[in-house]
Amino acid sequence: MARKSTNQIAARADWERKRDDWLAKLRDLIDSIKSWAEQRRWLVDEHEKTIDEDHIGSYPAPTLFIQAPSGKIVVEPIGCNIIGAEGRVDIESFPSLNRLLLILVNGQWTIETDSRIHWPEPWSENVFVKLVDALTSAA
Amino acid sequence: MNTREIISQIRSCESMCAAGKAATAHFLKVCQSDPSHIPPVARFRVRDIRDCHHDLERTYLVRMFAIFEVTLREFRTRISGRRSHPTVTQLMDGIAARCRMPVDHLTLAHAVREFRNTLVHGGGSGSVTLDEARSHLCRFLSNLPRQW
């Protein structure tokens, strides 16, 4: 009984650590995107959404609404309990609903298209700007 | 294929079921007070109308899951070119991994699959309402590419 309880506490601590690592990475990502967008004088609005995941429960996470000259973009975190990854953030344009995925693997953000084709370039400011343009200009 | 259209088809199962339930509830009420409303050539009785009314949600859940399964098989064929016939469990797990899906979305869709199996083959798994099934299956599908 005591061992089961200890295991449960350890498992709980693991999930909390996983959530905290993910939120720290997410915060860095959101801050970078905000800064890159603001440098270009794009309108940026940060909001909060509630993510609810098994084992972890509900927690708040930041989202971004960006008005770029070519269109609107939403940066939306999906969660950290993702198959084959440590986290996922969707970048979606409106009203076209074109979407890209930022996947956190081994602590690094990688980009996948909506068709789950791996984007060959690493995540960076230049790539972000290029992707915003591609997302908002595609029909 | 457009994922939003498939999600609409799944949602329409729920609205068709609601319409069917309203219709059977009305017909049941009418026939209970006056069984002569059942056409003489009809091969059913008031009891069958009641059973039909009570069974509609489960019937539509099976139909809803069939749309889901056909969609996943079509998706797999398009993206991999493979025409093999994996089990539904393998199919769901494979697509969930490819689409970088949240584990919860896969788990909830499996709960619908298990309940659908109980309805079709018997056995005992946790009950899932049609509303929950629609929600879980649509959430799973929302992870698929918008167009494929």
Task: Report domain extents, chain B.
Answer: 3-141
Q: Which of A53, A97, A101 sits opposite B100 (nearest CB)?
A: A101
CA A3, CA A21: separation in Å to the nearest integer?
27
Nearest CA in chain B to A82: B102
A134: which residues sit within 8 A by CB, 6+ positions away?
A: A98
| Gap between the terminal Cα atoms of chain B | 5
Task: Report domain extents, chain A.
Answer: 2-137
* Exposure on the CB side of residue B132, measured as CA atoms within 13 A: 14
A103: which residues sit within 8 A by CB, 6+ positions away?
A: A82, A85, A87, A88, A109, A110, A111, A112, B100
Chain B residues inside the 8 Å CB shell of A84: 97, 100
User: What confidence tens digit (pLDDT) does each residue in A68-116 have?
Assistant: 998 999 999 999 999 999 999 999 999 888 999 999 999 999 999 999 9
Q: Is the CB of B139 inside 8 Å of chain A's CB atoms? A: no
Give the Å distances, CA to CA, from B117 to A97, A104, B122, B124.
35, 35, 7, 9
* Distance to chain A for B102, nearest Cα, Å: 4
A-B contacts (CB, under 8 Å): 44
How many residues does the structure list for chain B? Answer: 148
What's the maximum distance between 2 C-alpha atoms anywhere in chain A? 61
Q: Which residues 75-94 of B have a C-beta within 8 angstroms of A?
A: 79
Report residue A8's pLDDT band, with 50, 70 and 90 as the boundaries.
Answer: confident
CA A114, CA A116: separation in Å to the nearest integer?
5
**A81/B146 Cβ within 8 A:** no
ipTM: 0.85
Look at residue A51 and give its three-state secondary structure. strand
pLDDT in tens, chain B (148 residues): 899 999 999 999 999 999 999 999 999 999 999 999 999 889 999 999 999 999 999 999 999 999 999 999 999 999 888 888 999 999 999 999 999 999 999 999 999 999 999 999 988 778 999 999 999 999 999 999 999 9
Give the Å distances, CA to CA, from B46 to A63, B16, B57, B59, B121.
55, 22, 19, 19, 27
**B148/A83 Cβ within 8 A:** no
